[in-house]
Amino acid sequence: MTIEFYGTKIHYQLQGKGNKVVLLHGYLEDSTIWGEFADELSQRFEVLSIDLLGHGLSDAPFKESTTDIQADIVAFVMKTLQFEKAVVFGHSMGGYVGLALLEFYTDMLAGLCLFHSHPFADSELTKENRFREIELIKEGKKDLLIMQSIPKMYALENQEKFAQTIEQTIQRAISFSEKGMIAALMGLRMRPDRSEILANTEIPVLYIWGQEDKFVSKETFDNIRFPKNTQIAILQNSGHNGFIEEKQNTLNICIPFIQKVGS
């Protein structure tokens, strides 16, 4: 299903009934990454999964898909579908969009879950690395970049177990446009530090981190200042995709959180 936002087509999936939940995927993913996790949640809740700009079947009209623009679009989709208040789950890049929602659309959040994400801006080194990725894409090496990046989202010991899922994610990412990928990388480089926004919020927060995460380091995790109303869960056997690597464990964490805070 699609919704138009000022001429930009945004693809989404809607399933289930009950308390409203919004799922926002990470970079090089789309709404299908939630897979069985979303299916399980939809047995109890109404679940909205959105393809962010330049990912999946959504358009990529901008040179820079900033987190602020992404948040505006997500809020528009939520309002259009009468998700005026929902529990938002943001994975990695989706977490950055969730934090922008927290800043600009606070009243629409019943709760916020940051899945393998953080509130900080890119470091100078990370910004340089994103520019290197952009150059690789411009040199026609998009597929190579994707094939190298996606397996790293999983703990080393989980890569064989989830080989089929990894390959499916790679093939979907290969279908994304170069323009959309570059715009997403530019948007990630430009995002502001929202650590104060997170630290001072009164919205209930669930934070989930993987012990084997190669993208959110232990140092980054340790430096986050969480608000008082925060539940923290550390997945001992997961990398960057705990909702796949430890699906049942994460469901056991997330379902009570939604039931407690959901509208």
| pLDDT for residue 18 | 95
Instruction: Specify whether the CB–CB gap between 31 and 56 falls below 8 A.
Output: yes
- Neighbouring C-beta atoms of residue 229, cutoff 10 Å: 13
pLDDT of 262 higher than 80: no
Query: For the purposes of burial, counting CB atoms within 10 Å of the CB of 251, is it exposed (0-12), middle (13-18) or buried (19 or more)?
Result: middle
Residue 159 to residue 154: CA distance in whole angstroms:
6
Check pLDDT > 70 for residue 93: yes
Residues 123/57, Cβ–Cβ less than 8 Å: no
**Percent of the chain residues topping a pLDDT of 90:** 97
The per-residue pLDDT for range 114-139, each reduced to its tens digit, is 999 999 999 999 999 999 999 999 99
pLDDT digits (tens, 9 = 90+) for 138-184: 999 999 999 999 999 999 999 999 999 999 999 999 999 999 999 99
Please indicate, yes or no, whether the overall pTM of this predicted structure exceeds 0.85: yes
Residue 92 has pLDDT above 80, yes or no: yes
Domains and CATH numbers, the chain: 2-261 (3.40.50.1820)
Cα gap 21→42, rounded to integer Å: 9
Could you give the 3-state DSSP secondary structure of residue 175? coil
The residue ranking higher by pLDDT, 157 or 262, is 157
Give the single-character DSSP code of 227.
-
Using the predicted structure, report yes or no on whether residue 263 has a pLDDT greater than 70: no
Roughly how many angstroms between the first and final C-alpha of the chain, as a whole number? Answer: 24
Closest CA to 52 of 36, 21, 17, 28: 28
Are 225 and 195 in contact by the 8 Å Cβ rule? The answer is yes
Distance of CA 35 to CAs 25, 38, 103, 243, 262, Å? Answer: 11, 6, 28, 9, 21
Strand 230-235 and strand 205-210: the pairing is parallel
pLDDT band at 41 (very low <50, low <70, confident <90, very high): very high
